[in-house]
Amino acid sequence: MDITFNNDPKLSILLPVIYYAWQDDVLTNTEFTTISDFINGQDWLTKAEKAFLKSKITLSEPPSRSELFHWKEKINQAIDSNPKIGGLTDLGLLIANAERPAFSNEDITKIAPAFAKLESGLGIMGPEVISGFRRREKTLTQEHNTVESFNVQKMTDLLDGNQADIINKVKSIIGSEAFKLDIPTDVAEFREKVLQWCKLLADEGLGSYAYPKAQGGKDDIEGYFAIMETLSYHDLSLVIKFGVQFGLWGMSVMFLGTNKHFNKYLKGAGTLELPGCFAMTETHHGSNVKGIHTTATYNHADRTFIINTPEKYDRKEYIGNAANHGEMATVFAKLIIEGKDYGVNAFVVPIRNKNKEVLPGITIEDCGHKMGLNGVDNGIITFKNIVIPHEDMLDKFASVNEAGEFESPIPSDNRRFFTMLGTLVGGRIGIPRSALAASKTGLATTIKYSDKRRQFGPEGGNEVPILNYRMHQRRLMPYLANSYALTFGLQYLTKRFINRKEDEMQEIEALAAGLKAYTTWNARNTLQECREACGGKGYLSENRIDDLKNDTEIYTTFEGDNTVLMQLTAKNRLGEFRKQFGEMNVSTIFNYVVDKAKTSITEKNPIATRNTDEAHLKDPAFHLQAFQYREKEIVSSAARRFKKLVDDGLDAFDAANIMHPHMLQIADSYLDRVVLEQFQIKLQDTKDEALKEVLTRLYNLFALNKIGEHKAWYLEQGYMEGVKTKAVRKLVSQLCWEIRQDAVPLVDAFNIPASCLGAVATTKAAEA
């Protein structure tokens, strides 16, 4: 009679391999040949048996579906009968010996190696395949889910702090029907809508919030920043238009002008009855604002200034509020008195009348369509001998006296200009806080969607929420941690700015410049991950990630190009370092050596560099030491390197050029340390145990993820060894897995109006 698996049971020893070969989509024709060669080589098979087996692995004569199904049945029975099976051959044996022993133990020991070699030769990993055959009980990956381990409202209170009232007021406004988010693709329409929104906010008294009470304001700058940040959950064109009008225009008057200017302009600025611009940047002078060419020539005869654009590309470019709505502008220009240049000063210049007609001598072009922020009317302004009265020079830091002479408490033009800029540092606080809010909207949308969206799953089991995949967690959780860390970091910056003393200004400016770059780059990276993590949904405008991304894209450029700002921050840190370890410059580096010695004793010993205990890796003291070590080492090596380059006769400018990347690291390591410290302080201040616990997880992820990002540097320095950096990576992945359970409550704590979240964030699980 014919040979079959049933009437010749021992042949079943190959049944699992044959089934796998047909089922699996990885084996190639070569593998089929491999099996048939193997069969030929088995002397315990008769010619006929070999022929039969080979007939089962002939590509041109595949088994019928019912035959495959029958084989699978047998396999399942065998697996259920013995859960301990290790590989396909063991499985085959079990089937072959099912009724009566077809193979003795001697047989088995004889043939086993050949079968093992066959399996491995086919790249079959036994346990994996068996595990794949098995009918699943639930897996860890399926079981994992959202757990609310803390009180969300309490977390919101912790985040909002003393600004809760104004934050809630703004949220209720942007959540209202009037602020319904449907963004017109038509630019003109969009700009009008944004203007209307700004009017509504001004009517609510939000525009003048930072202005003196005398001019109808609340004299509350901290509140103003909270408004900027909270508005940023909504459309960002609105935020920037708001910032240009009430911040750049109004506050330039407030900080650079004196009482006469306040009375003349601030009220109208705050109510939006007097829309204005901030005209500093010129086409040919972007980052290098000190080099602007616009002139303000003083005429003593009638005590006026003549504002003029000398050459075409000395025009003011990218000026917000200029293309359509602005009536006034704070113009930065070089003051010329009797042919002598007295450096950059600020003047108030009218550009449109109440009928929105551009005034004679003023030319305004539209910057046209942009990558984002198309609700903001950016324009290009050219001045042709515009005459303004003496009183419209903003004269807090410099003025022209009765005698027509220049007067200033700060003789150096450089120094005066940077002092003026210093007062405008507020923009470098508002922008990162806005960027942070945008990141939070992106994270909230993405994490809520990922918690519901299911793709793939174990054979036969349900599909799994994509947020349960380690890779997905690894992409999103560190940014969630950053968003909390930066909340505390930027609150710190804001308080420093509000309570600033004269002598702290340079440090605060450096901190603001740095955190602006640090935060907007973080927003860029966060929103990129959000876009990709939402897949196709992340590409649909209804989910807002596109606008959040495109609008914040320019945040890395305006208010100072990030790369340039990081240089400023680094320059300040280097200066501070030189004062601290000044003697280095006269080439004894005593202090520093002592200091390094300390480090190496306490930290650089083998126990520390190889310490992989979880307790140690989660120790705030370890984090702070590691961050401080990186900061100090980078700045001191920069000082030495720079000195060497110049001592070797390199021009200081060339030396600085070579140092740029190194300088960026100075700023980055400094900012990492500052933010870490603020997170640590916040943890110490948190009393609620549940909040403290989840915040500690986030804190550890922030700290260890940063250390991981810089592990190459730590390894190069010998500050850590491979075993330790590997342990850090493992712990980061573990923390991501744990925080995944808190992720949804953690973004709920941002308490972002539902109308500002992407559509997918509010869909039911079944629809995700």
> Which of the residues 712 through 741 are near its own copies (CB under 8 A)?
712, 715-718, 722, 725-726, 733
62 binds its own copies (CB under 8 A): yes
State the binding string over 534-573 for its own copies (x if CB under 8 A, else -): -xx-xxxxx--xx--xx--xx-xxx--xxx-------xx-
3-state secondary structure 137-186: CCCHHHHCCCCCCCCHHHHHHHHHHHHHHHHHHHHHHHCCHHHCCCCCCC
Compute CA distances 50 → 12, 36, 53, 55, 57, whole Å. Answer: 12, 9, 5, 8, 11
- With CA atoms as reference, report the closest residue to 217 among 176, 172, 253: 253
- Note whether 512 and 738 are within 8 A (CB): no
489-528: contacts with its own copies (CB under 8 A):
502-503, 505-506, 524, 528
620 binds its own copies (CB under 8 A): no
- Note whether 154 and 688 are within 8 A (CB): yes
CA–CA gap between residue 468 and residue 232 (Å, rounded): 30
- Note whether 167 and 753 are within 8 A (CB): no
469 binds its own copies (CB under 8 A): yes
Quote the least distance from Cβ 83 to its own copies, whole Å: 10
- With CA atoms as reference, report the closest residue to 39 among 27, 64, 57: 57
Q: Which stretch binds its own copies (CB under 8 A): 58-66, 233-241, 297-305, 740-748?
A: 58-66
531 binds its own copies (CB under 8 A): yes
Q: What is the DSSP letter of 62?
A: P
Residues contacting its own copies: total by CB under 8 A: 144
Contacts of 287 (CB under 8 A, 6+ apart): 560, 561, 564
- Site for its own copies (CB under 8 A): which residue of 652, 681, 693, 762? 652
370 binds its own copies (CB under 8 A): yes
146 binds its own copies (CB under 8 A): no
Burial class (CB in 10 A: 0-12, 13-18, 19+), 682: buried
Helix axes 427-452, 722-748, angle to 10 degrees: 90
576 binds its own copies (CB under 8 A): yes
65 binds its own copies (CB under 8 A): yes
Nearer to its own copies (CB atom), residue 218 or residue 604 = 604
Compute CA distances 360 → 451, 609, 707, whole Å. Answer: 59, 71, 59
Quote the least distance from Cβ 119 to its own copies, whole Å: 7
594 binds its own copies (CB under 8 A): no
357 binds its own copies (CB under 8 A): no
109 binds its own copies (CB under 8 A): no
- Site for its own copies (CB under 8 A): which residue of 54, 70, 136, 616? 136
Contacts of 465 (CB under 8 A, 6+ apart): 145, 450, 451, 452, 453, 454
Q: Which stretch binds its own copies (CB under 8 A): 74-82, 117-125, 160-168, 425-433?
A: 117-125
Q: Which two tokens stand for residue 543?
A: 């989910």
262-321: contacts with its own copies (CB under 8 A):
281, 284-288, 291, 313, 317-318
457 binds its own copies (CB under 8 A): yes
Helix axes 65-81, 15-23, angle to 10 degrees: 130
Q: Which stretch binds its own copies (CB under 8 A): 4-12, 73-81, 130-138, 620-628?
A: 130-138
Q: What is the Cα gyration radius of the chain?
A: 34
CA–CA gap between residue 489 and residue 483 (Å, rounded): 10
- Site for its own copies (CB under 8 A): which residue of 205, 212, 404, 461? 461
Helix axes 689-709, 470-498, angle to 10 degrees: 100
16-45: contacts with its own copies (CB under 8 A):
22-26, 28-30
203-232: contacts with its own copies (CB under 8 A):
none
128 binds its own copies (CB under 8 A): yes
Q: Which two tokens stand for residue 155?
A: 């977390």
- Name residue, tokens 């109440």: 354
Quote the least distance from Cβ 711 to its own copies, whole Å: 5
Quote the least distance from Cβ 355 to its own copies, whole Å: 28
Q: Which two tokens stand for residue 154?
A: 């309490």
- Site for its own copies (CB under 8 A): which residue of 1, 403, 586, 607? 586
58 binds its own copies (CB under 8 A): no
360 binds its own copies (CB under 8 A): no
CA–CA gap between residue 52 and residue 650 (Å, rounded): 83
State the binding string over 660-689 for its own copies (x if CB under 8 A, else -): xx--x-------------------------
629-648: contacts with its own copies (CB under 8 A):
642-643, 646-647
Quote the least distance from Cβ 214 to its own copies, whole Å: 28
Quote the least distance from Cβ 201 to its own copies, whole Å: 25
Q: Which stretch binds its own copies (CB under 8 A): 122-130, 173-181, 483-491, 619-627?
A: 122-130
Quote the least distance from Cβ 587 to its own copies, whole Å: 10
Backbone phi and psi for residue 63, each to the nearest 5 degrees, phi listed first? -65, 155
